[in-house]
Structures are given as structure tokens and as C-alpha cells.
Amino acid sequence: MSSIQSQFLDLTARHDRYAAIDTNSALKNSAAEKVIFIAGASRGIGQATAIAFAEAGAKAVYITARTEGSLKETQALVHAANPDTRCSYSICDVTIAAEVEASVADCVAKFGGIDAADANAGYLGPWVKIGESDPAGWWRNWEVNLQGSYHVIRFTLPHLIKSAKKHAAEGKSGGHLILLSSIGAQVLMPGASDYQTSKHAINRLCEFVQSDHGDDGIKCVAIHPGGVATDLGLNMPEAMQEYLVDSPDLAACFAVWVCSGKADWAKGRYLSANWDVSELLNMKDEILQSDLLVNRLRAKLSAAG
């Protein structure tokens, strides 16, 4: 893992919720009066994120996934976390534009708008070499991870822009958009060409969202959620599963922290939930001055001698 670690900031590694991002203390009420839209919230990280926003005092959490039974379970957990947080859901396949559009419209009809959106739905198929891969299975990663994220972006953006302008007028922060990336976006693991290239593209898509809509007040961040033993994570080769040591609460609370306004300076960038946020904030000036945490080709040419 040394080659992986060399790609990222040298910060204290976190593996579970901690004081600075705890939605029951430091981030309590940070989501007050806000409506949160989460795609892929039936279990794992998405489910934990819905609960975390409820703990942080969200006005409403709207959740989508393909399985109604799991959505009902998440809805019950949201209500248990905070009876004052309203929660509704719809069955939705993020690869189908019309279904995402309908879910967004239903959320707005029920709760009056969207203040933050989390494109959490993801897919990871078997790891095989490109020359041995199934074409449909290879492309499925791109359909869910990239096309699905695009659909969430496309249909929530008009409402996020309204939120950003409204909150700005009140001296507050709104219009947050989280895209689920991965540490795999920046590394090469044999057999992971479909998943890792789709996640690398997520980071660049995040930059484009910010480039196109930063002036509209949007704050888009691509996050690595940590190594979590979700159903998706357990699709990795067994040798890689020893790195699945992080709690779903880590990514969930980190998402709430991002949407609290404390990471607005990092908009358009890749952040890892494993990074200690206090140490990350101390690197703010260096990150901005050196334009770190974005996809770039660095080329150094030597003068001919």
C-alpha cells in the first residue's frame, strides 16, 4: 500500500467518527432546515449518511435505491435517529434518467427544495484483466458510477443553485453536492480497469461541475469514503479486503462535515474521509496555492544540455 499512500496527504488516518465530525456533538444542528437528497441509501454508507444527516438536524432526508424493503429500513432508522427529521423515499435506478428526474421532482414536491445532494450509488464487479473481461459487465461500472452520478447532478443542480443563492443571501452555506469517489481513482490495481477508471472520471466530473456552476454557488466535492466492508467492497479480491477497516459512520459524518460549509474552500476537489479534518484545514493555504487534490498531468522538461 506504500505506492497508494504516496498519492495522498500525510495526515492522521481516521477510521470511525471522531469529535470534529461527530453529528451528535460538533456537527449537531449543522443540517438544520436543510433538505438532503441521497441516491443509493438502502444500506451501508448511504444508509449511514441518511442517519447522520438526521442526527445533524436535517429538516428532511429523501432517499432512493432499487429495493423498497431496504429503503423502509433506512427510513425507520432515520426516524429513530431524529423524530423531527422527515423522511421519504422512492425506488430509483440511477442509470435511468427519467427515474432520477422523477425522484428529484418528488423530493421537491414533498419538501420544497434540495439543499444538498449525495450521489452515493455505486457498483463494483469482479476484478479481471481487460483481455478477459465481459464487455457488458465492464461498462456496467461506468453506467452506475459515472452515468448515475451525472443523472443525480443534472436533475438536482437547478434546486441546489436555488438553495445556494437563498443561503448566501442569509449569510449561510448551501448548494452542496457530494460525488462518491474512491482511493482507487488514483492508483492502478490489476483487474480493476472498469471500476478505477470510472472513479477517476468522477474526480474530473467534480471539477467540471465546479467550473460550470461555481459562479452559481455550487460546492461540489468528490470523496473517498474509506475502506468499508459493504457488499460492494467485499467484491474486491480477498487480498484487498484486509484494508476494509473503516466504519460507514466515518464517511457519513464526513459528508455532513463537507455540507456544513467547513469544506467550501475545497470545492471541486477530491477529499478522503480518512483524513483528519483539523489537520486538513491546516493545509488549506498550501492546497489552494499549489492546486492540489485535482486530476492533473505534471510534466517537468529539462533543457537540452
pLDDT over threshold 80, residue 305 = no
Percent of the chain at pLDDT > 90 equals 83
What CATH superfamily is the domain 2-289?
A: NAD(P)-binding Rossmann-like Domain (3.40.50.720)
The pLDDT, as a whole number, for residue 3 is 45
Catalytic annotation on 270? no
Q: Among residues of the chain, what percentage have pLDDT more than 70?
A: 91
| E strand or H helix that includes residue 224 | strand 219-224
For residue 228, the model assigns a pLDDT of 82
Active-site annotation holder among 195, 219, 267, 270: 195
Q: Which three cell numbers stand for residue 247?
A: 466504519
User: What confidence tens digit (pLDDT) does each residue in 73-130 have?
Assistant: 999 999 999 999 999 999 999 999 999 999 999 999 999 999 999 999 999 888 899 9
Cα separation, 249 vs 114, in Å, equals 23
Q: How many CA atoms lie within 13 A of 194 on its CB side?
A: 26
Q: Does the active-site annotation cover 18?
A: no
Q: What is the mean pLDDT of residues 243-269?
A: 95
CA separation for the pair 87, 111 (Å, rounded):
9
Give 6's pLDDT tier (boundaries 50, 70, 90).
very low
d(CA 297, CA 305): 24
* pTM, rounded to two decimals: 0.94
Q: What does the angle CA 173 – CA 115 – CA 14 come to, to the nearest 5 degrees?
A: 70
- Mean pLDDT, to the nearest integer, of 172-188? 94
User: Which candidate in 59, 162, 199, 219 is catalytic?
Assistant: 199
Q: Cα–Cα distances in Å, from 219 out to 145, 146, 179, 290?
A: 20, 18, 11, 20
- Which one, of 75, 205, 233, lies nearest residue 148 by Cα? 205
Question: At a CB cut-off of 8 Å and minimum separation 6, what does 149 contact?
Answer: 94, 119, 121, 179, 180, 202, 205
Scanning the chain, the segments in alpha helix (DSSP H) are: 2-5, 44-55, 68-81, 97-111, 135-142, 148-169, 193-213, 248-257, 277-282, 284-289
- Answer for the pair 88, 110: CB distance below 8 angstroms, yes or no: yes
- Where exactly are the structural domains of the chain? 2-289
Beta carbons of 162 and 113 less than 8 angstroms apart: yes
Does an H or E element contain 65, and which? strand 60-65
Beta carbons of 27 and 256 less than 8 angstroms apart: yes
Query: What are 7-12's contacts with CB under 8 Å, separation 24+?
Result: 7/186, 7/187, 8/183, 8/186, 8/272, 8/275, 9/272, 9/275, 9/280, 9/283, 9/292, 9/293, 11/275, 11/276, 11/279, 11/280, 11/283, 12/275, 12/276, 12/279
Confidence of residue 296 (pLDDT cuts 50, 70, 90): confident
CB 104 within 8 A of CB 113: no
In tens, the pLDDT along 207-225 reads 999 999 999 999 999 999 9
Looking at residue 199, what is its pLDDT? 96
pLDDT at 245: 84
Angle at 17 between CA 287 and CA 284, to 5 degrees: 10
